[in-house]
Chains A and B, each alone.
Chain A
């Protein structure tokens, strides 16, 4: 059987909020090492990869590898029934066609359980090559969400240009243009407020705002976000999930005609 108990249940709630706009359904691959999810959005422009390590769970048992196909809208509705401070347990028998979610209040005075049907999804998995990125930018997640939201007013694409001076986000459209430049922070007292740029070579790429704004739904998961870029390869936007895992969004670039 499969059983995973997460004391910080709010993390799972936030993970669903972070993927439910991009994906309608996806499979959770459960193994000894933990739980993984990988799925592309319907237009095959973006891909979400979630990794939750077994050690991050207060109790984790996975007798046999299990693939649980789920409708994420339904799963999100169920997780909405959990309070932010609830302990969340996911349970499934080995060849089950349902999964059970158990929510325990901290005082154990209230215990809820919800059972959901599983789906057979034959989604093609993509092999994501290990890449040594030309630029890796770490910045406050709220800052990145703000930049994407503000520049979306100007156009449907955002140009991200990373150089040794810093990183510039630009957009242009009918009403005009917008440019936001972030310099590498010299010294900040709080790591979470730092802008850190590791650059092997300068990179400039163009991305659709619509997807970037969907990725920033993961902002509540982590105070920091990292952007990894290399010429003409997908952008990686990564948020940590507490200290138990991470969520990575891959976005194909737009190529100038």
Chain B
């Protein structure tokens, strides 16, 4: 199975 990652892991909140 593959685990869905979260966008905030890649993009920092401004």
Which residues of chain A come closer than 8 Å to B12, judged between CB atoms? 126-127
Contact with A along B1-12 (1 / 0, CB 8 A): 111111111111
Q: Once the chains bind, are A126 and B8 in contact (CB under 8 Å)?
A: yes
Residue from B6, B9, B10 with most neighbouring chain A CB atoms (10 Å) = B10
Q: Once the chains bind, are B7 and A256 in contact (CB under 8 Å)?
A: no
Bound: A252/B2 CA distance, A: 12
Q: Identify A127's interface contact among B1, B2, B6, B13, CB under 8 A.
A: B13
Bound: A15/B5 CA distance, A: 26
CB-based nearest A residue for B13? A124
Q: Once the chains bind, are A125 and B13 in contact (CB under 8 Å)?
A: yes
Q: Once the chains bind, are B7 and A45 in contact (CB under 8 Å)?
A: yes
Q: Once the chains bind, are A252 and B5 in contact (CB under 8 Å)?
A: yes
Q: Once the chains bind, are A208 and B10 in contact (CB under 8 Å)?
A: no
Bound: A129/B12 CA distance, A: 9
Q: Once the chains bind, are B13 and A252 in contact (CB under 8 Å)?
A: no
Shortest Cβ gap from B9 to chain A (Å): 7
Q: Once the chains bind, are B5 and A253 in contact (CB under 8 Å)?
A: yes
Which residues of chain B come closer than 8 Å to A208, judged between CB atoms? 4
Judge if A47 is at the interface, Cβ distance under 8 Å: yes
Q: Once the chains bind, are B10 and A127 in contact (CB under 8 Å)?
A: no
CB-based nearest B residue for A128? B11
Bound: A169/B13 CA distance, A: 32
Judge if A250 is at the interface, Cβ distance under 8 Å: yes
Q: Once the chains bind, are B5 and A126 in contact (CB under 8 Å)?
A: no
Which residues of chain A come closer than 8 Å to B3, judged between CB atoms? 254-257
Bound: A255/B6 CA distance, A: 11
* CB under 8 Å from chain B, chain A span 76-135: 124-129
Bound: A206/B1 CA distance, A: 11
Shortest Cβ gap from B8 to chain A (Å): 6
CB-based nearest A residue for B8? A44
Bound: A254/B1 CA distance, A: 9
Judge if A51 is at the interface, Cβ distance under 8 Å: no
Q: Once the chains bind, are B7 and A257 in contact (CB under 8 Å)?
A: no
Q: Once the chains bind, are B7 and A47 in contact (CB under 8 Å)?
A: yes
Shortest Cβ gap from B3 to chain A (Å): 5
Shortest Cβ gap from B4 to chain A (Å): 5
Q: Once the chains bind, are A257 and B6 in contact (CB under 8 Å)?
A: no
- The 9 A-B pairs of least Cβ separation, nearest first, read A254-B2, A126-B11, A124-B13, A252-B5, A127-B14, A125-B14, A252-B7, A44-B6, A256-B2
